[in-house]
Structure 1
Amino acid sequence: MPPPPRVLVGRCACRQSAVRNARVSDADEDKARLPQAVAAAQPGEDAWHLDSQRGELTSPEGLVQGLSRMELGLLQTLAQARGATVSRRSLVEALGRRWYDYEQTWLDQVVSRLRRRCKHRLGRLPPVRTVRGEGYRLSEPMQVDEGVALQRARQALRELVVNFQTFFATVEDLMLVVGLDGRILFANPACEHILGYDAAEMVGMHVLDLHPAELRAEAEAIFAAMLRAERQRCPLPLQARDGALVPVETRVWPGRWNGADCFFGIIKDLSVEQEAKQRFERLFQLNPAFMALTRLPERRFEDVNQAFLDTLGYQRQQVLGKSAAALRLFPDSTGHQRLVRRLLAGERISDEALQVRRRDGEILDGLFYGEQISSQGQAYLLTVMIDITQRTRAERDLRASEQRYRRLSADLERQVQARTAEIRTANAALQASEAQYRMLFNNAADPMFIIDLHGRFLLVNDQACRHYGRSQDAFLQLHITDVDTPEDGVNAAARIARLEQEGQAAFTALHRDATGRTFPVEVRATRIRYGGIPAMLSICRDISEQTAARARIEFLAYHDSLTGMPNRILGRDRLAQAIAGVAPGQNALAVLLLDLDGFKHVNISCGQGIGDALLQSVAERLNQQRPDGAQLARLTADEFLIVLPDLHPDHCEPVVLQTCERTTAGSGGALRYRRPATQHHRLARRRPLSAGRSGCRHPAAECRSCAECGQTKRTAQRLSVRAEHENCADAFS
């Protein structure tokens, strides 16, 4: 593209310099006024007042100006900075828009519109000043009334954040947030006393590194199953920093953290439970009382202690896997069945007298105690018999057993309470998350849809209703093809199928509103679940302005802005295509270069406006008289390129330009090619001699040898152009 005239460049440079000087002066003036404004705003004096609930700005004189949503958000953000400078990017993101270069212009337009409205309504500019190269700030104090409801909401939000921080910091179980790649994103302080790691140190570690080396392969398989939603528990122990193994129970569930998919995990330290189990095992085996563990519902002995074997005279392999009825342990089978029914009903028995038979047939009297217990999801009957002959010892053991049972029951109760509190907290967090999602969905700046996989609308936000001119109820009766244009609607099924397969999709489409107006949109869709069914969330952004701007830029890149004709770049490209299309034996290709004689004199005598009008008139005539298939281009200020099948005579007619009448002659040269050439730029550089370009002031048709100017012109000259393939060219004026 040819460079712009120097005059325009000079004007643009002067205008940019003036803008820079104005910005510097504004910034210096603001810096000088800010301390004075802050010092002058003492309690009891008038100041700017911003009512966030009503969306109104009140001047110190008491005049009120209504604000738009963007203007209100701008003033609130600047007021929160308390006189500090807020960057452009921070303001754009605070107003709910994504940061791009063109958003700077949008922000400046918002500030300019606010200044114009306040100047017209309030008689003075608002206290918003531009800081060169940084952003905006308030130049005068401003009181902000946020409203009682908003203040309460913010206070509740702060309390909620403090409660969550306190909960994560005080909970005894280890809580982790793990990304889908296995990296730890968050860990609560409990990891320090359970594993010996600092919480900040664990961030970035891989979750598999917490397991022993010999168990990492199994841990990796379990983690993969969790990603596929096939498992929610991991029974593998963890390895502390000092190398010790910590028995744990890990429960996980999917979620989102900082906008990304992740897994939340609660890891309960089972060291206390393991110690209790070991103590119970030692108690079970070393207890001098008769003890047996019966598996339900088979009612076969799972384990018996040594006292059972010593008291009844059996070997272990003779008892395990068999029932009491098979061993004929109880002479009174009716009394035994009654106790079993009570145990199966969840009742605990104690001090129940019942006789038992030894292997050798001897009958022993004892007091039976028993209850139904559960271990790792399996139910058991635990029975204890005390020999009455050793009653004192049996009562001592019974009291010790009861105390341990009470501690176990208390631990179980505390666990139930803790789990109940966790469930309540999770429900509250879920409700808060749902409320936040609905707020973001309804207040989004772009239209948003939730559509099922059949293309039916399930939910739309308020911006979609405004942009498409339809109500919520009207949208719920439509199909996605009712929003697409008929030409673009055929692609809806393929897009939904691709989204269902890949999970995400981004594409452009043509949509239409209720009035039938069509506009291009950029769509980003994500597969989700809504109301228990698979659906997709679509965010549509209107790109009409971007598309029009892109088309305008492409047109200006290859066309002259004054005449609308193709410029030098497009002209050379079309010349190359025309030369490449010439085959041997066909008609010759004619290339004409046309100058406007005296164009500089027209500019000087009549002004550049007349010169521009002359160029436009010449371009219009060339377009009107252009034969079919001919190509035109403007190469320089007064030079035109014409590509046509044969050379035509030049035309010279007077052009009436406002009050000045000038007859300008056109100096032209032509080259005709009969053979194809690959180096078209040589043809464009070969300028044939033409009349009127040698400096003579006489018309070209009347002068062959001008004695007045001492110059000789040739009206026609035969030129030979030698190229690599010796292409032949005839040049004549």
Structure 2
Amino acid sequence: MHLLLYLIFFALLDKSGKLLAATFILLSQHQNQYALIGSSMQDVNLTYSEIEEELSVARRRVVELESKRASFSDAEINFLGAQCHIINSISWKNGIFNVPAFGILVVTKHRVITDVNSGLLEMLGYDKNDLIGNSVEMLHVNSDSFLKFGERYWSATAKQRIVSTEWPLKRKCGEVVWVKISGSALDAMDIGRGVVWVLFDVTDQKKAEIALGESEDSFRSFFESINDIAWVVSNDGKIVQVNHSVQEILGFSLQDILNMNVIDIHPENVRHEAVTIFADMLKGKRETCPLSLLKKDGSALPAETRIWKGRWKGQDCIFGISRDLTLEQEALQRFERLFNSNPAPMALSIMPSMKLIDVNNAFVEITRYQRDEVIGKTSDELNLFTSHDKYCDLLKILSKDGQIKNSEAQIYDKDGNVHEGIFYGEIIESQGQKFYLSVMVDITERKQIETSLQKLKNKYKNLIENSPIGIFESTPNGKYLAANPSLARIYGYDSAEDLINRVSSIESDIYVNESERTQTTDQLKNCCLYGLEQRRKRKDGTIAWVSLFMRSVRDKFGNINSYEGFVSDITDRKRAENELKESEEKFRLIVETSNQGIVAVNQYFEITYSNKIIQKLAGYSEKELHELHIDSIFLSCGEESFSRTIINATERSIPKLECRIRNKDGECFWVLFSSSPISRLDNSSGGAFIMITDISEQKNLELNLLMLATKDGLTGVSNRHHFMEISGALLSSATRYNTEFSVAIFDIDNFKMVNDTWGHSAGDMVLKKICTLATAEFRSSDIIGRLGGEEFAISMPETSLENAAAAVERFRTIVESTIFEYDEIPINITISSGVAACSKHTKAIDCLLKSADNFLYKAKRHGRNQTVTSINAKQETDYPDRWPLNSLKRRSS
């Protein structure tokens, strides 16, 4: 009887030396028969304790055989030497068992853990003491997992040598780890001795498989759920798969389109171009195909197609997504209409270069540039902004906030004229490209809104006219008996016959809400239906709005035989009503938030609308304003009424006029207004819109500026510049028409002593009172001016020298007799004057004033408080103290 044990170790290493697979085979030779005790460490796991026991038995047997070595044959001796070498070379405990590349788990028939290696401890995060002696259930995710694993694989180890599967286990921290687990009974003949399991961590691989499965599921869900048209095309151009959108959008069935060539899905006139474009796309020269697609009814669908290479069901293919651009084109057309018809200057620039790609008509009108002069250039290159720094500031705001709001700036037009504007701007995106849309509100000259209002009315003028009418007859249980082609077209069917044959139940195939038909037929029991608006399903699944006129047809006994009626497609009207409502809301928002007063009047100029701004300006409530005529609050401009002014301004295309408004309290203030007529559909007058801007502050500012420019700030009389300008004009007029003209210069005697004695405040009081007396004494046509300090001049048109001298002398006596009181202290003031008159040789006001100034000097030199002219200067060598007033007459005032 011979017992030989063979432990054979096979290892498979990769190029880096990493252990890929290990195989242990323990053979027992007993009576020339070999039994397999262990196998692959990847497919069959060994337990340390069982193998250790077998090795001990083998060692003892070898010792026994050594003692009988003398009786063995040469072959038996060689075999025995090989066995000794193998047994002596194995260091199981410190070697293979503790290789960290995989985990080893030894479990009894009662599922109790008896041994583990370091690889398992590291893999699951346990200490050895945590596991030895405990049920293997603790490594399973839950009890169900433990029971299922036992049911499937424990008994299987007795039926087959190797059991292998993937299973989720639980780390000590609670985290789930997926393992590749292979097991084998310690004794193939006796499962009761336990099982050894070898575990490899395949969590990353499992996650990748799960992610891949989810990715494939997501892609299929995406493919079927997207609203865009999705294609799968073979490399030879055959369509092998499409999503549901092909039927909904293009009208083709799956049988229609499969195996068609992708080029044939384009209109015939662009197929040659499509071949070239798709070739360029496959080469990476183009990203999209802008060509339209062909619908089943022969019409063209505007679309944008993108393609990429991939694999479908294991075969190389080309994926394509075609996006329906119908709504975008409609939106673009609406945008272009609004863009070009907007009365505010607008410009569209491409980002980030900020080069202009389009401008509207208002932009051309205000800047005087033609489109081809600005397209492709930036505002900076055109020197459009008067300040380069302001232009840079606007770009910074746009970069930071993504928009520009209420920013004031100045721009030049082509002729160099400056326009004030308030700028608004926003970044918009289309097909992956960013654009900057800027709008300028011209506050230099407000634009009329007549064109935009007229277009707004015309836009909705014919929305519900000439709608096609569908005619039908149906049974009470919901089957069409008859229908006309218009009804078929409304519901999207090819013909009336197609509608009748395909619609088996009106309730489910036509009505969006099936319960609506029951409600409709219930109403027909008592009356006919007129203009009932409901939704209907078209053949392609889209929804149509209809207006229903319907009645019941009864037999002679009053029983309902059928229903007949008319259907009008009001889908466009419904859409238009929504757009109109949105437009009216936008218009109302613009009007109500405008910083201008807005008034609408009818053809009789009765106020029919007013916004809050004009209500506040006029001080009336909305109701009170709507009971007034426009002439009640707007004052007449000249000799004509305000309503007549509006008519003339409209006929003459006058953009803006100034007028005054009288508010409810009777106060008047200045406004700037512009008007635009409102026309009816029959082109008759429907009244007018009036835009009002309060310019009271501006008017007051103009008066203040005029005062500052012409009046002396202390005394209120003309300043030197204004006096010289007016006096020069009066002198020129007198010379031209040969009329008399005189001037006088006077100053206050010993004025310095007043300032030195009582201070400059006293001096200012004297100057102001002198001017008050002069204004009261001299005529309104006389010009009084302060030349400087205490020196004043008076221009007296149509006045001779004698009368001028008399007037000045009277004024001197008034000053002399007036008590100037400062802090209850009386101050006596006198003046000295010089008077001169023009002659035909007088050319300039300066010369005439110089003559008067010479006489003033003589009056000062000869005692002050007197008036000197060329008359008494020649007649008297000693100047009189007083002018002989008795010989002169007072001038007419």
Q: Is TM-score (shorter-chain normalized) higher than 0.5?
A: no
Which protein shows a greater Rg? 2
TM-score normalised by the chain length of structure 2: 0.32
Higher RCO, 1 vs 2 (CA within 8 Å, ≥6 residues apart): 1
The structure that is strand-richer by fraction is 2
TM-score by length of 1: 0.39
